[in-house]
Chain A
Amino acid sequence: MDYMKLLNPTVVDIKPSGIRKFFDIAAEMDDVISLGVGEPDFQTPWHIRQAGIKSLQDGKTKYTSNWGILELRKAVSDYMKAEIGCEYDPKSEVLISVGGSEAIDAAVRAIVGYGDEVLIVQPSFVCYEPIVRLAGGVPVIISTKVENEFRLTAEELKSHITDRTKLLILPYPGNPTGAIMEREDLEAVAEALRGTSIAVISDEIYSELTYTGNRHVSIASLDGMRERTVVINGFSKTYSMTGWRLGFACGPEPILTQMTKIHQFAIMSAPTTSQYAAIEALKNGRPDIEAMVEEYDMRRRLMVDGFNALGLECFEPKGAFYAFPSIKSTGLSSEEFCERLLYSKKVAIVPGNAFGESGEGHVRASYCYSVDHIKEAIRRIGEFLEDIKNEG
């Protein structure tokens, strides 16, 4: 069988990330101190797990509506109104998805056709580019800069817009940088979009994890933006529910209707147990979020201080749960740095270039770990830096 003839070249051409090999090495190594994960260390709060268990006991084991359980969609709609300031009709503008990722995929496929250009802000989560390619779109990368705290500026945006630009994917608060967009940053971006017919997918999966004291602002809440924006969010990061695989999308009815078609044929409906747990999360989970944010904030400060003290310059990440220090002072590439650190000190962190070329010269360290764990990792990184210095 000539599989290369058999298989879809668009899929085959998507290169598995070069970082994969490095991941595998780390996975097989014993006693690794990792700062490498993109998921919370907290358990899903017990009352949320109980709601899932109760739904099983009650025999809620069937498909739900393609859109998701109406009660959950109503809860999402209430949440969006209260927290984001946008109203979405639970019947036709809220879709419950299998994690945020599936909603991103459905949104891209609903909007992007063959040859359409999609603006992807990097460094960012790894799924956007392949999803756009699979939809037949052309990814156009906008590289953000550490000088701007990895925020997207209106100038950067404008200089990448062509008459084939269909969509902007806006990933804030950001993985891997921890960058956020504040209201005035978003206003500038919105101003550049007004008068165009460019749609926006705003991936706000980390929206509840910000540390400025101000709440997250969604671009959808700005003038003229709601009509063109699909907001993606979910339960994984907010309520520490990564394994439940549940997210949602909110947006204008014409887009959501098409997304739901895709979702309906590919997925049917999101996991039922998870949906019942999510209702409980939205209704009674606010104190859990606050406790987690307070804990993350302390770890965040400790980690940023630790990197800066080691001379690995680290801008202040104001959202998500990552620090993204620069390792340029070592003269090593991101991959060299991470690989050598893993072999010599058994600390696993992720090379910044895994999230786009503009991440080169940085590494991503997650603070989804206990304070003692973070301290030990930073101590080992300090030893590693000493070793390099002595070599040189």
Chain B
Amino acid sequence: MMNTKTSQKIAFSALLAVTLMVILPVLIIIIIIIREGISAINWQFIASMPSNGMRSGGIMPAILGTIYLVVLSVAIALPVGVLAAIYLNEYAKDNLLTRVIKLSIVNLAGVPSVVYGLFGLGLFVIFMKFGVSILSGALTLAIMELPVIITTSKEALNSVPQSFREVSLSLGVSRWKTVRHVVLPHALPGIMTGTILSIARIAGETAPILFTAAAFYVPRLPNSVFDQVMVLPYHLFIISTQIPNMPKNLSYGTALVLLMLVISMNLAAIVIRTYFRKRKKW
């Protein structure tokens, strides 16, 4: 029979070992990508057009394309998502309709990304005749972001103390003004964190934009939302699989840029959260 102390030690070490195994893949990915890709990173790589069948030159159009898509999709998804969250958290009664809405949100979050891509192709590209374009891609991504934005916004609204609402209501202030002036300002950091995290998630998505926005190669920058664009994840996919004699460091460099983009967004989310957490106390 082992004594309590020894068994406790063994249990703790086992738990620690398993936990460390979770960090390992993250570290290995980052280390390999940096080691292989850092030599490709310079100003010219970031700020110029690809040349020589993408075997040299930069990835500027892909970076810009990703940014366009992300910004436009958030501009669409954020208002819709926040308003829906306000409705669900502040107004909706617990009835059949509300339950159906909540169920759809959960299911929306579980749909595989390639299905979103096909859906976007059918609805935006073909039926609404937007063509393969920034607009179609952004709309598709927006639908994909919605469940995350709605869920996190709802949590954020829900965490505003009920007593704040009662104070405002007891002064004869209407429900909408209470939401607008008391609830929303205090839920804002949470809403922003959720939104940035959803951005970080969709910035690296390939499947939803594959049929709706992404182009293999466009010799010029897009002029309008109806143009096709190059995007980082898809660009990474084609230069790694479709182009023979591709310098290896360029693919890793592209991956590094994408990774940095996503990590910096996650960091921004953390900074915003801690900043606001310090400011508010009750």
A and B assemble together? no
List chain A positions with a Cβ less than 8 A from chain B: none
List chain B positions with a Cβ less than 8 A from chain A: none
